[in-house]
Amino acid sequence: MKILVPVKRVVDYNVKVRVKSDGTGVDIANVKMSMNPFDEIAVEEAVRLKEKGAATEIIAVSCGDAKCQETLRTAMAIGADRGILVETTEELQPLAVAKLLKALVDKEQPGLIILGKQAIDDDANQTGQMLAALADLPQATFASKVEVAGDKVNVTREVDGGLETISLSVPAVITTDLRLNEPRYVTLPNIMKAKKKQLDTFKPEDLGVDVKPRLKTLKVSEPPKRGAGIKVPDVATLVDKLKNEAKVI
Ligand code: AMP
């Protein structure tokens, strides 16, 4: 069984992003970029499934500009066997990515597609669900445990108030939650080995997909600044302020 793992290049989670002065977006010039953390978990899970003998090949896919090759090399250093870059400088929205992934699913026929539950830059939480709909595949989102059993995959999901376990027939789409696993560190020998792995490049046109954005960003703004705190002399004043000023009790 092949596993396809889409990996997105995003601003590193340690970077505090700044809104551009004209309010058109956030400034990503000269900031550290990394693989989306949920996608690292997805690659790790695919590698663990391969180590257990449940998968034969792991293909990492990234859609974006040429720099996404770095993200693919990281995925290959974790253990993906090869990479596919869908290269474009166009802004990619979740529906466009889902369409590109659908074209690659048709081409590669993977048994599982493991995505992150969301990208930490757009926080859309849409691509996996859209892909499942476009490819007409069963989906299990927010996975905290994945077990392959023959032609079924059992996925435990974190839901309100507990855990839900569902059984899907493969091929299927899974999206990862934070507690699924802890990704391994990439070692230098594996980084070197990854440089030699196969990386194919396609353009969206090669896959017959129009990636033109459908949504327009109207404005991006900073969250309101937090006011300074105050000291209160006693509990009665505190309760009074919570009731009448903050109006939270
Ligand atoms: P989103 O729907 O944007 O929150 O993204 C959810 C997941 O879809 C991510 O964790 C990735 O696995 C995948 N994804 C989104 N955008 C891309 C992209 N440009 N390239 C590869 N994978 C992507």
* Domain extent listing, the chain: 2-244
Residue 132 beta carbon below 6 angstroms from any ligand 1 atom: no
Contact 115, 86 (CB under 8 A): no
| Distance in Å, CA 10 to ligand 1 centroid | 10
Q: At what angle do helices 94-108 and 127-135 cross, to 10 degrees?
A: 50
pLDDT at 106 over 90: yes
Closest C-alpha residue for ligand 1 atom 8: 127
**Which atom of ligand 1 sits closest to the CA of residue 92?**
19
| Distance in Å, CA 118 to ligand 1 centroid | 7
Give the confidence band of 227 by pLDDT, cuts at 50, 70, 90. Answer: confident
The total of other beta-carbon atoms located within 10 Å of residue 136's CB is 8
**pTM of the model as a whole:** 0.91
What CATH fold (topology level) applies to the domain 2-244? Answer: Rossmann fold (3.40.50)
Residue 79 beta carbon below 6 angstroms from any ligand 1 atom: no
| Distance in Å, CA 112 to ligand 1 centroid | 16
pLDDT digits (tens, 9 = 90+) for 45-90: 999 999 999 999 999 999 999 999 999 999 999 999 999 999 999 9
Cβ-based neighbours of 53, under 8 Å, separated by 6 or more: none
